[in-house]
Amino acid sequence: MTSLATCDRLTVRYPGAARPALADLTLALHAGEKLAVVGESGSGKSTLARALAGLLPVGTALSGAIRWSGPPPRPGRDIGTVFQDPGASLDPLLTVGAHLVEGLRAPLPLGRAEARARAAALLARVHIPDPERALAAWPHQFSGGQAQRIAIALAIAAGPHLLVADEATSALDVLVQAEIVALLRELCRDAGMTLLFITHDIALAGTLADRVAVLHDARLVEIGPAARLLAAPREPYTRALLAAQLDLASPRLVGTRP
Amino acid sequence: MPRLLRRVATRLLGSIPVLVIVVVGVFLLLNSAGGDAVDAYLLSIGGGDAQQAEELRIRFGLDQSVTARLALTLAQLARGDLGYSVALNRPIGAVIAERLPNTLWLMGSATALSFALGSALGVLAGRRPGSAADRLLSAGSLFLYSIPNFWLGLVLSVVFAVRLRWLPVSGIETIASGKTGLARAADIAQHLVLPVSALGMIYLALFLRVMRAGMVEAWGQDYTLAARARGVAPWRITLNHAARNALLPLVTMLGLQAASMLGGSVVIESVFGIPGFGRLAQEAVAGRDGPLLMGVILVSALMVVAANLLVDLAYGALDPRVGGPR
Amino acid sequence: MIRELLRRPEALLGGLLLLLIAGAALLAPVLSPGDPLAIAGRPLVRPFTDPAFPLGTDGLGRDLLAGVIHGVRTSAAIGLAAALVAVLAGMLVGTAAGFAGGLVDEALMRVVDAFQIVPGFLLALAFVSVTGPSLAVVAIAIALGAWTGPARLSRSRVLALREADFVAAARVMGMHPAEIALRQVMPLALPPVLAVTAVIVAGAILTESALSFLGLGDPNAVTWGGMIAEGRNQLRSAAYLSIIPGIALVLTVISIYLVGEALTDVLAGKRQS
């Protein structure tokens, strides 16, 4: 199994912060896999996503290294990112079409008309009904789930080989969450994309991912195949996380592993 | 379109009670004064006897009770009749119509200048908050914001009109120059450079600060981060996302400043000897001409209402979330 | 908090300036005894030429430095008084509107609207011309155009607080609504209003100077606006007469903005963390 990227003793400290947001993290991301990173808020899981996607704010201190198997990736072209709140990650003043045309033309040498034609196809690919009409609509006219589909269409516009989903389902209700998870699974399967799935929901991570990494207090606690990690966690923290989740767990609404 | 018209109509109807409050308030204020326009008028023509004063008072309805005159005033204003100026011996509506264009040119140019420059510099400052350009522009705007407009006008006229003789010292156009058409327009534009700069500078500073704050706000939003994640070029994120969103609070601010700018033009017109609407307010005060002052204040209020209506419509067109003409 | 303020160079600069200005205001009778409007020497002494008159004299031979030092008292007194009246009146109206709600709120807010669509400066002009110029009148005239901001701010804060538990508890205890509004709710609406107070003071000082410039200031007090207006007649020959009091005005206003901005920043930072 070839690795797409390797974090080697990666430490990230935000400007003005007393403690690092990510400390001494060593982790490999395999090409084509679905890796879920689980942790509570402040565990550093989103920092890991942003470090990989090249989205850390200016002035962030980075030590250690991220090694890529190929040339350093460019955001948009090689890595697509989906954020937590679809309402906030779309510019309220631009139509869906304008978003897609801009997102397509940034990494790809496309004319306006060409980009427009591809935009409709992208919306169809994430199962937005009536793509032509959706292109002319504004972000606020869509439900959270639909808006997240549009955000996903934007993230995969240039055909990246890595998709980073940063709490991409956390703001949605359970049923919509399941739909988005199904969509992510379908897109990864069809395009052979690698998925980095950031979530606080260890059960959800288990149903979607091939491997699960658990982060706590800026450090990697445990990493392993999803089935093994959920069935027989090695670390006490993972057990505690699972126990806390199971207390809350109602009957499973999210689809089972294929 | 009918929806748009309906919105305009609702807004205008809603402002009627507010305008009535303005009229009643100003009326009561003006009537609490000792001495009236007749006293001031007689004083200005070198005095007159009691009988003459009495005749004048009857002629202008000043002999009736306060409530009767308030009712008369309201009825008269509702008909669109602003009354008659004792001090100028002319219908107030005609005087205002004659003076208003000068002030509208002054204010319109000052607004255009401060809005264009202020928003452009605000984008420059807010492009990278904390950068050297930002610190310089932010400090500079705070300084500009602290300068009283009339003093700035005097300093500008000392430098550019008195010392360098590049621009005229005062007036709205060269008197009896016989210029017409384009030559006259150029002449007026030349006369407006200094007053417009003096009036507009403080708003330039204000708009710069509002625009910058809007940009800083936008940088904290997910949509700018998401655009970065899509590989959109930085200049494009700055202009197409951050600046576009930062423009919305600026447009709101534009409406809020209409009243303040009208007040500023009173002083600026006095500094530069521009026979405008603002100077009329001062003349009304000097001549103790209550009806004239009432007319000036009411027309100002109407202008502010109109400015806010325009801003509202512009906002609706800019922000798809507001029920615009779509 | 003070330490945090000292770490900002612009706040430090503004603070020092403000201290200097406040010192001049308080010590004016000591620094420059006697009537600043009295003739003190030769007319039109240029600034920085005569040690007896560091800033020179005006066309009548009055000491410009004395004028500037005494002028700060007028500016400060009117700026603070106008801001105090505006904040008090605004908070009372805003609290009443927000707490009473319904028709009272509707009526009071239309009055606020009315004050907002009339240019504050025109209103001040009309008020002073009717009542006659004195320091108190000028302060009130300026407050007429400045109280609507505090009114709106405190109203929205009170609206948010009206349904709070402690208000319900006070009602159950049988407190009079007016007492609840004034003693329990209004103080909580103070912070957002205080945040804009520096801007109100600075704005009041600027408005006062414009009124005095147009000859509507208190004729018995030295005002910077009045000095600028008098110097205007000699703008061609002795521009310093207008320029010097203007610089004093700019420095005063900018120091208030600098300190006010730093205070707002520090307070906002405090709330966030």
> How far is CA C1 from each of CA B70, C16, C192, C265, C271, rounded to the nearest angstrom?
55, 17, 18, 11, 12
Those residues of chain A that have pLDDT short of 70 are 1, 246-258
CB within 8 Å: C257 and B146: yes
User: CB distance from B35 to chain C under 8 Å?
Assistant: no
CB within 8 Å: B319 and A92: yes
CB within 8 Å: A90 and B227: no
Nearest residue on chain A to B244, alpha-carbon basis: A93
What letter would DSSP give residue A110? -
> How far is CA C208 from each of CA A74, B152, C142, C214, C224, rounded to the nearest angstrom?
58, 16, 7, 10, 9
| Of the candidates C149, C253, C254, C153, the residue with the CA atom closest to the CA atom of residue C207 | C253
CB within 8 Å: B262 and C10: no
Tell whether A142 is covered by a domain: yes
What's the confidence (pLDDT) of residue C65?
84
pLDDT at B241 over 90: yes
pLDDT tens profile B24-39 = 998 888 887 655 666 7
What letter would DSSP give residue A75? B
What letter would DSSP give residue C63? B
User: CB distance from C246 to chain B under 8 Å?
Assistant: yes
Give the rounded percent of residues in chain C with a pLDDT score beyond 70.
Answer: 96
pLDDT at B286 over 70: yes
A215 in Cβ contact with A48 (< 8 Å):
yes
Domain of A156 in residue numbering reads as: 86-160
Nearest residue on chain C to B164, alpha-carbon basis: C236
Cβ of B105: how many Cβ atoms within 10 Å? 19
What's the confidence (pLDDT) of residue C273?
36
User: CB distance from B172 to chain C under 8 Å?
Assistant: no
The pLDDT of B222-229, averaged and rounded, is 92
Give the rounded percent of residues in chain C with a pLDDT score beyond 90.
Answer: 34
3-state helix, strand, coil in chain C (%, to 5): 75, 0, 25
The pLDDT of B211-229, averaged and rounded, is 93
Domain boundaries, chain B: 96-275
CB within 8 Å: A92 and B223: yes
pLDDT at C46 over 90: no
Tell me which chain A residues have a C-beta less than 8 angstroms from the C-beta of B321.
Answer: 92, 138, 140
CATH class of domain segment(s) C49-272: mainly alpha
pLDDT at C174 over 60: yes
Please tell me the distance from the alpha carbon of residue B318 to that of residue C46, in angstroms, as a whole number.
55
User: CB distance from C258 to chain B under 8 Å?
Assistant: yes
What's the confidence (pLDDT) of residue B175?
77
Beta-bridge partners for A214: A38, A222
Q: What are phi and psi of B176, to 5 degrees?
A: 50, 40
User: What is the ipTM score, two decimals?
Assistant: 0.88
pLDDT at C39 over 50: yes
pLDDT at C271 over 60: no
Max Cα–Cα distance, chain C, nearest Å: 74
Lowest mean pLDDT among A248-252, B147-151, B219-223, C129-133: A248-252
Cβ of C141: how many Cβ atoms within 10 Å? 27
| Of the candidates B192, B212, B206, the residue with the CA atom closest to the CA atom of residue B110 | B192
Runs of H (alpha helix) within B79-146: 92-127, 132-145
**How many domains does chain A contain in total?**
1
pLDDT at C172 over 70: yes
pLDDT tens profile B295-304 = 999 999 999 9
Q: Chains B, C in contact: 3+ Cβ pairs under 8 A?
A: yes
DSSP track, B201-269 = HHHHHHHHHHHHHHHHHHHTSHHHHHHHHTT--HHHIIIIIIIHHHHHHHHHHHHHTHHHHHHHHHHHH
Mean pLDDT across chain A, nearest whole number?
87
Greater model confidence, C84 or B46: C84
Interface contacts (B, C; CB < 8 Å): 136
Burial track C188-222 (b if 16+ CB lie within 10 A, e otherwise): bbbeebbebbbbbbbbbbbbbbbbbbbbbbbeebb
What's the confidence (pLDDT) of residue B96?
92
The fold of the B96-275 domain, in CATH, is MetI-like fold (1.10.3720)
Tell me which chain B residues have a C-beta less than 8 angstroms from the C-beta of C144.
Answer: none
pLDDT tens profile B71-117 = 888 888 888 888 888 778 889 999 999 999 999 999 999 999 999 99
Establish how many alpha carbons lie within 13 A of residue B232's alpha carbon, considering only the half-sphere containing its beta carbon.
Answer: 27
SS3 A167: coil
Query: Could you give the dihedral angle defined by the CA atoms of residues A76, A78, A79 and A80, in that order, rounded to the nearest 10 degrees?
Result: 50
CB within 8 Å: B266 and C121: yes
Nearest residue on chain B to C255, alpha-carbon basis: B146
B194 in Cβ contact with B272 (< 8 Å):
yes
Contacts of A24 (CB under 8 A, 6+ apart): A9, A10, A11, A64, A219
Of B154, B262, B282, the CB nearest to C228: B154
Which tokens hold the place of A215?
């982060």
- pLDDT-based confidence at B282, cuts 50/70/90? confident
pTM, rounded to two decimals:
0.88
Greater model confidence, A249 or C228: C228
Contacts of A166 (CB under 8 A, 6+ apart): A46, A49, A50, A81, A82, A83, A84, A198
Radius of gyration of chain A (CA): 18
Nearest residue on chain B to C141, alpha-carbon basis: B29
The pLDDT of C222-228, averaged and rounded, is 89
Contacts of C154 (CB under 8 A, 6+ apart): C90, C91, C94, C95, C98, C186, C189, C190, C192, C193
Touching partners of C (3+ C-beta pairs < 8 Å): B
Of A75, A89, A140, the CB nearest to B223: A89
Please tell me the distance from the alpha carbon of residue A46 to that of residue A55, in angstroms, as a whole number.
10
What's the confidence (pLDDT) of residue A163?
93
Beta-bridge partners for A62: A12
Tell me which chain B residues have a C-beta less than 8 angstroms from the C-beta of C123.
Answer: 297
Tell me which chain B residues have a C-beta less than 8 angstroms from the C-beta of A57.
Answer: none
